[in-house]
Every structure is written in structure tokens, then in C-alpha cells.
Amino acid sequence: MKALLINKKDLKHNINVIKEKAKKTETKVIAVVKGNGYGLGLIEYSKFLIDNGISMLAVATTEDAVALRKAGIKEDILMMSSTCIEEEVKLLIENNIIITIGSKESIQIADSLARKFEITIRAHLKIDTGFGRYGFVYNNLGNLVDSLKSITNIKIEGTFSHFSQSYAKNEEWTKMQFDRFISVISFLQNNKIETGMLHICNSSAFLKYPNMHLNAVRIGSAFLGRILVQNTVGLKKIGVLRTNITEIKELPKGYNVGYSNTFKTKKDTKVAIIPVGYFDGYNVRNYPDVYRFIDKARYLYNDIKNFFKDKKLKVTIGDKKYRVMGKIGMYHMAIDITSNENIKINETIDLDINPLYVDSSIRREYV
């Protein structure tokens, strides 16, 4: 049986490190728990964060927001995705979720429903400073001010934007997005619009740009210690996939192992079969959408490099590393254990893995 193990001591350490860093800039920490709590289990992870001093959560879907309320979580929850779907807005309102307003239409729908239910909705404004998804475009605010001044049953408690590449070495674009955001805030405030809590930093920006922390930061991957920028604050990696050896066999010299016939034994080989594959999230990599020729060339180069890296992929059993043989399958992989006669069937193996990629059907276990 497989299980994703979450070390509570290390996770608590990361939470405390982030809280302390945020404290230096007097910044509120908003915990982003999208993607099944970054793979740690939406409900249990959220409760663990709350138990360790986090008072506000953020999600990307209505389903996650509702699931948190059904689990009994009373803390503030921000739905970061703006929606103009009336049924979704109604569901968010009924569950006391802080909504995001990112268009004139979303303002109209939310205010109309709020008047209908005779309540005041809590909301954050989303400004698009160059991401191109949700939010009012920073240089085309149009009738935003008039729309906001006309609302009767919406309370703006915050305003935010989102960086598109705060992890990059080149900082010019991130600084430009930040300047755009600050300009919009000034514009709104000059027009007597309440902007509330200001937040733009994700995990990478939180670590790289303390001058951009503003009133709050949204932290996701940093809690797991799996970040795209240099780890300068001592975050610990969270997530180990525990499994067992299910079979051991002897293969002769010249025998094929795995799909595509990319691997053949060079001698008589003792093989251990481990019931973990790419569907479980092992050795899965991100492949960003790219269109420029230079980007395509760069990712092709990385694919070739990773092909040879995969040929050297190793698994730790006990205190020794053993080579993975051939391509990793959907649910299995083969390990060369010829050098160790003491390895037995059912022996426990712990694999370093990003929890975000671990299939949700696999049990999460806090240890």
C-alpha cells in the first residue's frame, strides 16, 4: 500500500519560518490551499495550517471553498478566481466566502444577489497587471470607478494582483507588474475607492522581494519547501511517498526492461519491482506552454538532458542508492538490486516526491 507521508515537525517548521519572515514586514500570511492543498490533502492540511496560526485561506475553485466550509472551517476563505456564473456566486455567498471581483459583470451579478438576499458581500478586487487571466486590465479601467461607486451591498476588503514570473532571474517584468499595481491603487484611492488589504506576492516573490509584501502575501509552495527560487531561509522539503517492494526476480543478460525497449541488461541482473509510476506523480516534471522559438529550443534541450538524467535515476533503499531500469511505467518501475542480496519482498521504500503531483487517491498520512 502506498501513502504520502507529511512530516508534521518539518511542516510546522516551515510555517513558523514564513510567519517570522512576514512578521518583519508586518504582513499577513494568506495560505493558498488550491490543488488539494498542494497535494497535502485539502481538509487536513488546512486544519493543520489553522492550528499553527494561519487565520486566512485562499482557494481557486468554488468546490474547494464549499468543501472547507462543510469540513467545519470557520476562518476567512478567499476565492481567488473571479466568476460571472450566477450559480457559483450564489454558492459562495451562501457559504460566507470572500469573493473576487474581476470584471464589471462580476460586480453587477454579485451586487444583485447581495441585494436579493439583503446581505453585504465581502470581496477583493483583482487587477490584471500582465497575467492575462482574471481581473480588470491595469491600463483599461474604463467604468470601474463608476461601477464600484454604484454598488450597494458589496464591501471591498482587499485588492490584489498576481505575478507571472517572480521566480525569474530577470527582475524587470516583476518590478513593472508591481509598479502597475501600485499605480492602479493610487488611481482608485484618488477616486475615493476603498482598496482594503493589498497583496500581490506569491511564494517566490515573498522570498525575493520583501519590499513588495504590502499588507498580505499569498503562500503556497513555500510551505512545502518546494520553491523555484533559492532557499535562503531554511525551508524543509515536505512529502515522501512510502511504498514496498512487491516482487524480486532474476533477469538474464540482454533482457529488455520496460516500455520502448530503451534498456537491456548487460549481465545477469537481480530486479526489484516497486508499485510506483508516473501516474502516482513520481519523476513528473512541469512542461510550460511556450511559443517562442528560443523557448521551444530551450525545453527541447532540457528534454534531451532529462532523458539522460532519467537513465541515471536512482532510488534509495536503506542507506544505498539503486538504479531505475528503463522507462518508468504508469504504476511500476524496476530497480537493479544486484549488488545487495539482503533486500527482501515487502521492504519499505521512501521516495522524494512533490505532493502536488501525487494522485489524490493515494492516502495522506501526517506523521
pLDDT score of 13: 98
- Residue-wise pLDDT tens digits, 75-123: 999 999 999 999 999 999 999 999 999 999 999 999 999 999 999 999 9
User: Residue 10 burial (CB < 10 Å; 0-12/13-18/19+)?
Assistant: middle
Say which residue, 200 or 285, is predicted with more confidence: 200
How many Cα atoms sit within 13 Å of 132 on the Cβ side?
A: 2
Q: Is the pLDDT of residue 299 over 80?
A: no
pLDDT score of 143: 76
User: Residue 182 burial (CB < 10 Å; 0-12/13-18/19+)?
Assistant: middle
First to last CA, the chain: 16
Instruction: Quote the CA–CA distance of 26 and 306 in Å, as a whole number.
Output: 42
Q: Is the pLDDT of residue 62 over 70?
A: yes
What confidence tier does 285 reach under pLDDT thresholds 50, 70, 90? Answer: low
Domains of the chain: 8-224 (3.20.20.10), 246-346 (2.40.37.10)
Give the pLDDT mean for 278-287: 79
3-class SS shares of the chain: helix, strand, coil, % to 5:
35, 25, 40
Q: Is the pLDDT of residue 182 over 60?
A: yes
What confidence tier does 228 reach under pLDDT thresholds 50, 70, 90? Answer: very high
Q: Over pLDDT 90: what percentage of the chain?
A: 87
pLDDT score of 24: 96
Instruction: Quote the CA–CA distance of 229 and 169 in Å, as a whole number.
Output: 9
Q: Is the pLDDT of residue 303 over 50?
A: no
Say which residue, 235 or 146, is predicted with more confidence: 235
Q: Which residue shows C-alpha cell 530577470?
A: 170
pLDDT score of 255: 97
Element (DSSP H or E) covering residue 351 = strand 348-352
Q: Is the pLDDT of residue 168 over 60?
A: yes
pLDDT score of 312: 77
Q: Is the pLDDT of residue 288 over 50?
A: no
Give the pLDDT mean for 51-57: 98
Instruction: Quote the CA–CA distance of 245 and 48 in Å, as a whole number.
Output: 31
Instruction: Quote the CA–CA distance of 311 and 324 in Å, as a whole number.
Output: 7
Q: Which residue shows C-alpha cell 519547501?
A: 225
Give the pLDDT mean for 176-190: 97
Give the pLDDT mean for 241-256: 97
Q: Is the pLDDT of residue 298 over 80?
A: no
Which grid cell sits at 51? 492550528
How many Cα atoms sit within 13 Å of 187 on the Cβ side?
A: 18
Instruction: Quote the CA–CA distance of 156 and 296 in Å, as a whole number.
Output: 42
What confidence tier does 134 reach under pLDDT thresholds 50, 70, 90? Answer: very high
pLDDT score of 139: 92
Strand partners for 1: none
Q: Which ranges of the chain does DSSP label H, i.e. alpha helix?
A: 8-24, 34-38, 42-51, 62-70, 86-94, 104-117, 144-150, 172-190, 203-208, 221-224, 293-310
Give the pLDDT mean for 316-331: 93
The answer to whether 23 touches 17, Cβ cutoff 8 Å, is: no
Which grid cell sits at 149? 461607486
**Its pTM surpasses 0.85:** yes
The answer to whether 207 touches 222, Cβ cutoff 8 Å, is: yes
Query: What's the whole-number average pLDDT of the chain?
Result: 92
The answer to whether 347 touches 245, Cβ cutoff 8 Å, is: yes
Instruction: Quote the CA–CA distance of 224 and 10 in Å, as a whole number.
Output: 9
Q: Output the CA–CA distances (angstroms, integers) from residue 220 to 84, 119, 318, in the order listed.
A: 26, 31, 31
The answer to whether 340 touches 286, Cβ cutoff 8 Å, is: no
What confidence tier does 311 reach under pLDDT thresholds 50, 70, 90? Answer: low
DSSP assignments along 85-145, one per residue? -HHHHHHHHHTTPBEEE-SHHHHHHHHHHHHHHT--EEEEEEEESSS-SSSEETT--TTHH
Instruction: Quote the CA–CA distance of 227 and 205 in Å, as a whole number.
Output: 11
- Residue-wise pLDDT tens digits, 23-37: 999 999 999 999 999
- Phi-psi bin for 192: left (phi > 0), alpha (psi -120 to 50), beta? left
Give the pLDDT mean for 274-281: 94
